[in-house]
Amino acid sequence: MIAGFCSLAAAELVSALVRPEAGPVTAVGGAVIDRSPTALKEFAVRHLGTGDKPALELGIVVLLAVFAMAVGVLALHHRRTGSAAVLLFGAIGAAAAVGRPEGSAPDALPSVVGAAVGAGVLFALTGRLTTAPPRPPASGSESGSGSGSGEAYRAFDRRGFVITSAVATAVSAGAGLLGRRLTSSVQAGATASRHDLVLPVPDSPAPAVPAGAGLNIRGLSPFFTPVKDFYRVDTALVVPRLDAAGWRLRIHGEGVARPLTVGLHDLLRREIIERDITLACVSNEVGGPYIGNARWLGVRLADLLREAGVRPPSAGGPADQLVARSVDGMTIGTPVEAVMDGRDAMLALGMNGEPLPFEHGFPVRMVVPGLYGYVSACKWIEDIELTTFDAYDAYWVRRSWAQQAPVKTESRIDTPRSLASPRPGTVPVAGVAWAQHRGISRVEVRVDGGKWHPARLAAADNRDTWRQWVWEWPATSGRHTLEVRATDGTGATQTGRRAGTVPDGATGWHSVEVDVS
Ligand SMILES: Nc1nc2c(c(=O)[nH]1)N[C@H]1C(S)=C(S)[C@@H](COP(=O)(O)O)O[C@H]1N2
Ligand SMILES: [Mo]
């Protein structure tokens, strides 16, 4: 385990110099994420939520510790084989790092160096635990019990072992800490660039939110989701921290008459729009938490595309899919038609009045009203390629999710919570409903499968945001089941048919059970 620790610490130091994402634990974790079946990923999102990543990393470290002990035992008997086994693990780490979507040859370095250090330390330490068999004594009468059988004679050089392991541990701890330091100083530039970014005043501000859009009911989600509470779903074990000054976005591909490369300053000089848009994840179960509403600031993506000479399919353009690529190798495919049909598809750089947080895509991400995040909301974006749905499957599409996924009409009961026990009398049943880009026209609640009661709708902000609602329930004692359903702006009512999240979003009515007493 000491050798394993030294190995990881060395890898940490080298990964600080190469790329934090190239460290073996992160790389193997990323490879596991890339390769794990959709069902497992959905399980992790459902049961571990945002804790899925620490859980994965902990799992890898525990596995490594077990492996380290096994290799340690092996090394006692076969010193060289033990060290070779460590090198094998280095090879796994290296392969994982290079094989990530954004991986390149230098990414192997942390694992290779880490493995070499681990193998060396193991070799040195086992040398202190086993010493060479003593020369056969001159007279057989004094021989020890095992000397005649040819068995290796073992002796524990306690002093040598303790000194070697203490030195190795201390040096490695220092190296690991130095690695952490280096990483954070490299990232200091990014942090400063975010801190220094002054958000522009929008040329087209968001209309004021109507006074009645927030119902102010205890337990009800606020109309705007504070950044600190905004859900986060992505495959990044290490959040990319980009320096805004170095950020570039390239727009190219089929039907792009004038390919473009823009930096942040080019964006800031353009017409800046500000829009309220509710973002939802396709992995959100009925009643789930992966949805949030924010005020976004940025530029219209359609403006940039038009400047690049892109025409939507409806105007004869050859590309029907826009593939956004992030610095961490994520690919997200969006219909070109949706981006250019007049909705406020944005390259966003501000969220709720602050520069995008690193976790949410700093410096620039996409946001497209009406589409689930995995087909629209690329964070840490660096490239946009115009292509077709026939020619290319993006990251999640290769993992059994649908190519196209408009947000489904859904609603959620926020209060009372499941298994709450309110007093008999008037109980406000309240929540949110959403059908981005279609809007919400009606919400209804029923008790114990009875008749549907119309809920009171809060004022609508716009059709791209969720809408709050409340129904005053005359609650009577006993156990009751509350259900909700919404109707969107086209008049279509949310289906009660239960469907899971794969391939294009869950359906069904959210229900909560309460015990009125
Ligand atoms: N680079 C990158 N962008 C990404 C993702 C990702 O894994 N990597 N996940 C997408 C998904 S599935 C969703 S739902 C939204 C979530 O955005 P948020 O984390 O800011 O809430 O980001 C999208 N953009
Ligand atoms: Mo998502």
Omega within 30 of 0 (cis) for the link into 363 = yes
Please say whether the beta carbons of 403 and 497 come within 8 A.
no
Res 261 pLDDT > 80: yes
- The bound ligand whose nearest atom lies closest to the alpha carbon of 348 is 1
Write out pLDDT tens, residues 346-376: 999 999 999 999 999 999 999 999 999 999 9
Give the number of whichever ligand sits closest to the CA of residue 332.
1
Q: Does the C-beta of 53 come closer than 6 Å to ligand 1?
A: no
**pLDDT cut 70: percent of the chain above it:** 95
Other CB atoms within a 10 A radius of the CB of residue 399 amount to 17
Nearest CA to ligand 1 atom 19: 232
pLDDT tens for each residue of 440-468 = 999 999 999 999 999 999 999 999 999 99
Strands 321-326 and 381-387: antiparallel
Chain segment 186-198, per-residue pLDDT in tens:
889 999 999 999 9
What is the three-class DSSP state of 33?
helix
Cα separation of 154 and 156, whole Å?
A: 7
Domains of the chain: 2-132+153-188 (no CATH), 227-399 (3.90.420.10), 410-516 (2.60.40.650)
- DSSP state, 259? -
Cβ–ligand 1 contact at 377 (below 6 Å): yes
Residue 166 contacts by C-beta under 8 Å, 6 or more apart in sequence? none
pLDDT at 293: 98
Question: Does residue 33 have its Cβ closer than 6 Å to ligand 1?
Answer: no
464 lines ligand 1 (CB under 6 A): no
Identify the pLDDT of residue 184: 87
- Ligand 1 centre distance from Cα of residue 111 (Å): 28
Query: What spatial distance separates the first Cα and last Cα of the chain, rounded to whole Å?
Result: 56
Residue 177 pLDDT grade (very low, low, confident, very high; cuts 50, 70, 90): very high
Cβ count near 336 (within 10 Å): 27
Give the long-range contacts of residues 63-71, CB within 8 A, separation 24 or more.
64/4, 64/8, 64/25, 64/89, 65/1, 65/4, 67/4, 68/1, 68/3, 68/4, 69/1, 71/3, 71/4, 71/122
Q: How far is the CA of 377 from the centre of ligand 1 (A)?
A: 6
Residue 371 near ligand 1, beta carbon < 6 Å: no
The reply to whether ligand 1 has any atom less than 6 angstroms from the CB of 358 is no
Query: Looking at ligand 1, which atom is closest to the CA of residue 282?
Result: 14
Give the whole-number percent of the chain exceeding pLDDT 90.
80
Q: Classify the C-alpha dihedral 306-312-318-319 as positive or negative.
A: positive
Instruction: Tell if the pTM clears 0.85, that is, is over it.
Output: yes
